[in-house]
Every structure is written in C-alpha cells, then in structure tokens.
Amino acid sequence: MQPVSGTPVGSRSAQSLPDRDIIVGVISDTHGLMRPQAIDALRGCDLIIHAGDVGAPEVIDTLRGVAPTFAVRGNVDTASWAAALPITERVAVGALSFLVLHEISQLDLDPAAAGLAAVVYGHSHMPSIETRGGVLFLNPGSAGPRRFKLPVAVARVRVSGTQLHPTIVELQV
C-alpha cells in the first residue's frame, strides 16, 4: 500500500479545525454520476472522502466545491486522469487516522496495530457499518447508478475527540 500525506492541495486539513466535532462525508462508487441528492447530503461536512470508482474528474471537482476532498482510485478509474489518485490514502481527522481504499480485500495490515480509527472502503455498493477490534469499518454504499436492489447512499461520520458516530444516509432518487 502507498499511504500519502493526506492533505488536499489548497485546502485546510481537518487537524486545523477548531476544538469541535468534525463531520466527515463519505461517498463511493459514483461511476461518473454526481447526484444532486449526494451533494445535498454532504453539505456541511468539514471534509469528504471518496472511496473509489470515481468515474470522472468532474466528480472530484464538484466534491471539492463542497469541502476539502480526499479520493482513492477504484477498479473503474482507469483513464489517464485517474493515475494521480492513490490506491490507498491515510487521512488525518483531528487526532485520528482513517485509511481509505476501494476494495477491502486489498487491506494488507492490521488496522488496530497500525493505529487506525477507521477503514473506509467501497466496491460492493452495499452500505455497511461495523466495528472490528475497536476499528470502524465503513462502506458508504454507492452514490452512483443503482446496482441490483441496493440502496443509493452516502455516509457521514461525526468525530467527537476519539469517538466516531457513523450514519448511512440513503438518498431518495
């Protein structure tokens, strides 16, 4: 894996926010479709994480208009623009560290031993919140084209100090 700095260019880091809760928006599997309902659900977030299968650079540009955005490359991100996206990224959220990757099957470390508070991933299009070994594992589901009968969704995580409060936000599309 290739963790990178975790600071989007031209943006403030979540570490520089005042002493208050930090709201993290999480989106994945847009496949080039940036729904207005997803933008509405992410408004007010301090930062946004895109867990891959972005599909088009305009998706990232739109998200950056809402909040500083961190994105990783997914299996459909094969065009030349996507080469700049990392496969994994470690994102500092206050005093905590989130690891972002597209496919959870590519996780090659022990998140708790690595000091991670959360692992954010996508790929399955199935929203999921679970805790394993004290680490949050979060898949926001897909905000792009509907797959099978799965919901279209994003997630939000309220970070209060070292406490994580995740929620899945199903989009009405």
Q: What is the pLDDT of residues 110-167, one digit of tens each?
A: 999 999 999 999 999 999 999 999 999 999 999 998 888 899 999 999 999 999 999 9
* Cβ atoms of 91 and 81 closer than 8 Å: no
Residue type, 153: A
Least Cα distance to 74 among 105, 43, 118, 108 occurs for: 105
Residue ranges covered by each domain of the chain: 20-170
pTM, two decimals, is 0.89
CATH architecture of the domain covering 20-170? 4-Layer Sandwich (3.60)
